[in-house]
Amino acid sequence: MKTTHRTVLVINSGSSSLKYQLVDPDSSASIASGLVERIGEPISALEHRYGEETVTREEPIADHTQALRMVLSICEEVGPNFADYNVVAAGHRVVQGGEHFDGPALIDDATRNLIEELSPLAPLHNPAHLKGIDVARELLPDVPHVAVFDTAFFQSLPAEACTYALDQEVAKKYAVRRYGAHGTSHQYVSSLVSETLGRVDLKQIVLHLGNGASASAVVDGQAVDTSMGLTPLEGLVMGTRCGDIDPAAVFHLYRVGGMSIDEIDTLFNKASGLKGLTGDNDMRVVRSLADNGNEDARLALDVVLHRLVKYVGSYTAVMGGIDVLTFTAGIGENDSDLRRELCERLQYLGVKLDLEKNAVRSKQPRVISTPDSKVLVMVVPTNEELAIARQALSLL
Ligand code: AMP
């Protein structure tokens, strides 16, 4: 397949991984995609997909430079040939843009250094993104590089929604406030809802339910609240993160449990949520355990649902009503049981789910509520790579 359009190489660099996709932002086509994993470990793995072909390699890949070199050489070998695809930009996913970025930014040395300065707010993410950014700028010097921030969509939050009730001298000194995350997805999904319905004047709640999970409240296209906070730990129950918890649990585990701050960090981020409650972070496993009578798994689902009911209720109150409730990401798009169970608990809002439409699996944005439901319920598949590609293009 050869495109006559422009394409964008989207790069999501993790501390030991490099995920990429060549996207045509105009047609929404994904031309090629791949993932290099376990960079720096004795055996690294690369998987590259182009058209019908999937190429896998297992060999040591020392660092991100070698990883991207390998990706570029595989593209030369099996395609796509970048020269044929008019690659006009590289779009880089960056988790934390702090207060500096309320939209995509061209990466020059100043932008790069700001992303580095923000690392204390996202120690697991920003330094890892910089590895990918530095290597890509070096190996692909002829295209502009654009950073697309997970936090940017939530820079519009009103002060009352993003301010923690802390001593403001301390809060300001250490930049402690709510930044949100998953913003690229919430923005993409809420604007696709508006586009699908032909209306911007909507009160929307978007539930991004994947391994990471977050909720947002969006009024007339602007985010007014979101569940993730200083970091992606706050809010909903997630695959391995606990979401909302009394901060005094940290003091208790430190003073009484004798745990170190790093141990508590790992506990809350990596060993809690579905994993902490059931031993497994995959919703499909948790669902099947619950279906087979496992009480821990049923409790986990109820904790997930209870938290969702609280967020939908509080965001409805914040917005003074709700027009559309949208589900997205791995669980939101695929788990019809969870959607049904949540909508049953939202009947007080006039939510009525069409059970047949809810059971349909599709990659298309769709309405799953009945015509007489007071709230439109939708499933809208997210596509963060496409959103990043489009945002990158918007700067050129
Ligand atoms: P994501 O982070 O958006 O890729 O979502 C990943 C999560 O989606 C996985 O942890 C699964 O628990 C969940 N998931 C994927 N497919 C299904 C499904 N058919 N039913 C329930 N959960 C699913």
Atom of ligand 1 nearest to the CA of 282: 12
Cα–ligand 1 centroid distance for 63 (angstroms) = 30
Give the single-character DSSP code of 202: -
* pLDDT at residue 9, as a whole number: 98
Cα–ligand 1 centroid distance for 81 (angstroms) = 33
pLDDT value at 1 more than 60: no
pLDDT mean over 37-52? 95
Mean of pLDDT over the chain: 96
Q: Residue 304: helix, strand or coil by DSSP? A: helix
Task: Tell me the CA end-to-end span of the chain in Å, nearest whole number.
Answer: 25
Q: What is the pLDDT of residues 283-302, one digit of tens each?
A: 999 999 999 999 999 999 99
* pLDDT at residue 83, as a whole number: 86
* 330 Cβ closer than 6 Å to some ligand 1 atom: yes
The helix (H) or strand (E) run that includes residue 225 is: strand 222-226
The helix (H) or strand (E) run that includes residue 171 is: helix 168-173
Short-list 100, 187, 92, 22, CA closest to 392: 92
pLDDT value at 3 more than 90: no
d(CA 242, CA 284): 18
* pLDDT at residue 126, as a whole number: 95
DSSP letters along 229-273, please?
Answer: -SSTTSSS--SS---S--THHHHHHHHTS---HHHHHHHHHHS-H
* pLDDT bracket for residue 163 (50, 70, 90): very high
* pLDDT bracket for residue 345 (50, 70, 90): very high
Atom of ligand 1 nearest to the CA of 212: 2
Best residue for ligand 1 mutational test, from 241, 284, 301 (most atoms within 8 Å of Cβ): 284
* 334 Cβ closer than 6 Å to some ligand 1 atom: yes
Q: Of the listed 26, 84, 108, 150, which one is catalytic?
A: 150
pLDDT value at 2 more than 60: no
**Both tokens of residue 76?**
């030369």
Cα–ligand 1 centroid distance for 102 (angstroms) = 29
- The side-by-side arrangement of strands in the sheet containing 53-59 is 53-59, 44-50, 29-37, 18-24, 7-13, 87-94, 145-149, 105-106
**Both tokens of residue 292?**
């087979």
Q: Residue 71: helix, strand or coil by DSSP? A: helix
Q: What share of the chain has pLDDT > 70, as a percent? A: 99
pLDDT mean over 18-35? 96
* 384 Cβ closer than 6 Å to some ligand 1 atom: no
Residue of the CA atom closest to atom 20 of ligand 1: 335
Cα–ligand 1 centroid distance for 339 (angstroms) = 13
Q: Are 152 and 97 in contact (CB under 8 A)?
A: yes
* 90 Cβ closer than 6 Å to some ligand 1 atom: no
* 332 Cβ closer than 6 Å to some ligand 1 atom: no
* pLDDT at residue 5, as a whole number: 79
pLDDT mean over 170-189? 97
* 213 Cβ closer than 6 Å to some ligand 1 atom: no
DSSP β-ladder status, 18-24 and 29-37: antiparallel
CA distances from 139 to 37, 48, 320 (A): 19, 19, 50
- 150 catalytic per annotation: yes
Q: What is the pLDDT of residues 215-233, one digit of tens each?
A: 999 999 999 999 999 999 9
* pLDDT bracket for residue 20 (50, 70, 90): very high
Contacts of 77 (CB under 8 A, 6+ apart): none
How would you classify residue 52: left for phi > 0, otherwise alpha for psi between -120 and 50, otherwise beta? alpha
pLDDT mean over 165-180? 98
Q: What is the pLDDT of residues 331-344, one digit of tens each?
A: 999 999 999 999 99
pLDDT mean over 161-175? 98
CA distances from 365 to 311, 357, 368 (A): 23, 12, 10
Residue of the CA atom closest to atom 19 of ligand 1: 334
* 335 Cβ closer than 6 Å to some ligand 1 atom: yes
d(CA 176, CA 158): 16
Burial 184-210 (b: 16+ CB within 10 A, else e): bbbbbbbbbbbebbeeeebbbbbbbbb
DSSP β-ladder status, 324-328 and 376-379: parallel
DSSP letters along 101-160, please?
Answer: -SS-EE--HHHHHHHHHTGGGSTTTHHHHHHHHHHHHHH-TTS-EEEEETTGGGGGS-HH
Cα–ligand 1 centroid distance for 286 (angstroms) = 11
Residue carrying the six token digits 């669980």: 331
pLDDT value at 145 more than 90: yes
* 283 Cβ closer than 6 Å to some ligand 1 atom: yes
Q: What is the pLDDT of residues 230-259, one digit of tens each?
A: 999 999 999 999 999 999 999 999 999 999
Half-sphere exposure of 347 toward its Cβ, with a 13 Å CA cutoff?
5
Q: What is the pLDDT of residues 354-391, one digit of tens each?
A: 999 999 999 999 999 999 999 999 999 999 999 999 99
d(CA 216, CA 161): 11
* pLDDT at residue 123, as a whole number: 87
- The side-by-side arrangement of strands in the sheet containing 366-367 is 222-226, 213-219, 203-209, 324-328, 376-379, 366-367
Residue carrying the six token digits 């006009």: 88
